[in-house]
Amino acid sequence: MQETEGGDDVNEGFMTKSTLNSWKKKVDLKRLKEVVRADLKPSGLTVIQLDLSLSLSLSLSVSQKWMYGGLDSNVFLQYLAWVTYPVVLITFSAGFTQILAPQAVGSGIPEMKTILRGVVLKEYLTFKTFVAKVIGLTCALGSGMPLGKEGPFVHIASLCAALLSKFMSLFGGIYENESRNIEMLAAACAVGVGCCFAAPIGGVLFSIEVTSTFFAVRNYWRGFFAATFSAFIFRVLAVWNRDEETITALFKTRFRLDFPFDLQELPAFAVIGRLLYPALVTLLVSTLTFPPGFGQFMAGKLTQKESLVTLLDNRTWAKQGIAEEFDYIGHSQAWKHPQVNVFVTLVLFIVMKFWMSALATTIPVPCGAFMPVFVIGAAFGRLVGESMAAWFPDGIHTDGTIYPIVPGGYAVVGAAALSGAVTHTVSTAVIVFELTGQISHILPVMIAVILANAVAQSLQPSLYDSIIRIKKLPYLPELGWGHHEKYNIRVEDIMVRDVRYITLNCCYRDLHNVLLTGHLKTLALVESAESMILLGSIERAQLQSLLSQQLGRPRRLQYIRERAAAEKKRLSVVSNPGSEDDSQRASQEVRFQVRIAEWEEKQLDEQVNFNNCKIDPAPFQLVERTSLHKTHTIFSLLGLDHAYVTSIGRLIGVVSLKETKGCLILLCLSVFSVSVVCSPPALSICTASQTTENPSLFVNWPGSGKRIVAKCSAACLSLTFRLFCSAVPPADKKASQGR
Query: Could you name the CATH architecture of 25-241?
Result: Orthogonal Bundle (1.10)
Q: Which residues contact 221 (CB under 8 A, 6 or more apart)?
A: none
- Is pLDDT of 713 > 60? no
Going by the DSSP 8-state scheme, the letter that residue 507 receives in this structure is B
pLDDT of residue 630: 83
Name, of 81-85, 389-393, 652-656, 662-666, the range with top average pLDDT: 652-656
Round to whole Å and give the CA distance between 484 and 325.
59
- The answer to which of 362-366, 513-517, 557-561 has the lowest mean pLDDT is 557-561
How would you list the strands of the sheet with 522-526, edge to edge? 501-503, 522-526, 534-539
Round to whole Å and give the CA distance between 402 and 425.
35
Pair 711, 673: CB distance under 8 Å: no
Mean pLDDT to the nearest integer, 306-328: 61
> What phi, psi does 731 have (nearest 5°)?
-60, -40
Strand partners, 501: 524
In CATH, what number does 292-317+333-471 get? 1.10.3080.10
pLDDT of residue 161: 85
Mean pLDDT to the nearest integer, 64-77: 64
Nearest to 264 by CA among 149, 402, 137: 402
- Helix then strand count (H, E) for the chain reads 27, 10
Going by the DSSP 8-state scheme, the letter that residue 723 receives in this structure is H
Note the pLDDT tens digit of each residue in 657-671: 776 666 666 555 443
Q: Pick 198 or 412 by higher pLDDT.
A: 412
Domain ranges of the chain: 25-241, 292-317+333-471, 491-568+592-658
Using only C-alpha atoms, what is the Rg of the chain?
Answer: 33
- Is pLDDT of 35 > 50? no
Name, of 59-73, 223-237, 432-446, 496-510, the range with top average pLDDT: 496-510
Nearest to 500 by CA among 696, 631, 694, 705: 696
In the 3-class helix/strand/coil scheme, how is 210-254 assigned residue by residue? HHCCCCCHHHHHHHHHHHHHHHHHHHHHHHHCCCCCCCCCCCCCC
Round to whole Å and give the CA distance between 355 and 336.
22
The answer to whether domain 25-241 and domain 292-317+333-471 are alike in fold is yes
Residue type for position 497: R
pTM above 0.75, yes or no: no
Note the pLDDT tens digit of each residue in 584-627: 666 666 766 777 777 777 878 888 888 878 888 888 889 888 88
Residue type for position 606: E
Round to whole Å and give the CA distance between 157 and 49.
9
Do the strands 621-623 and 642-647 form a parallel or antiparallel pair, or are they unpaired?
parallel
Confidence of residue 109 (pLDDT cuts 50, 70, 90): confident
The Cα-based distances of 115 to 67, 121, 175, 207, 274 in angstroms read: 43, 7, 18, 14, 33
Q: Pick 86 or 6 by higher pLDDT.
A: 86
Please tell me the total number of residues recorded for the chain in this structure. Answer: 739
The Cα-based distances of 369 to 57, 157, 376, 491 in angstroms read: 17, 17, 11, 38
Note the pLDDT tens digit of each residue in 536-593: 988 888 888 888 887 777 777 777 777 667 666 665 444 555 545 566 666 666 766 7
Pair 42, 188: CB distance under 8 Å: yes
Round to whole Å and give the CA distance between 118 and 126.
17
Mean pLDDT to the nearest integer, 631-656: 84
CB count within 10 Å of CB 81 equals 18
Confidence of residue 99 (pLDDT cuts 50, 70, 90): confident
Query: Could you name the CATH architecture of 491-568+592-658?
Result: Roll (3.10)
Q: Pick 567 or 466 by higher pLDDT.
A: 466
Nearest to 679 by CA among 634, 629, 716: 716
Mean pLDDT to the nearest integer, 682-692: 33
Confidence of residue 645 (pLDDT cuts 50, 70, 90): very high
Q: Pick 467 or 247 by higher pLDDT.
A: 467
- Is pLDDT of 731 > 80? no
| Virtual torsion, Cα 255, 256, 258, 262, nearest 10 deg | -70
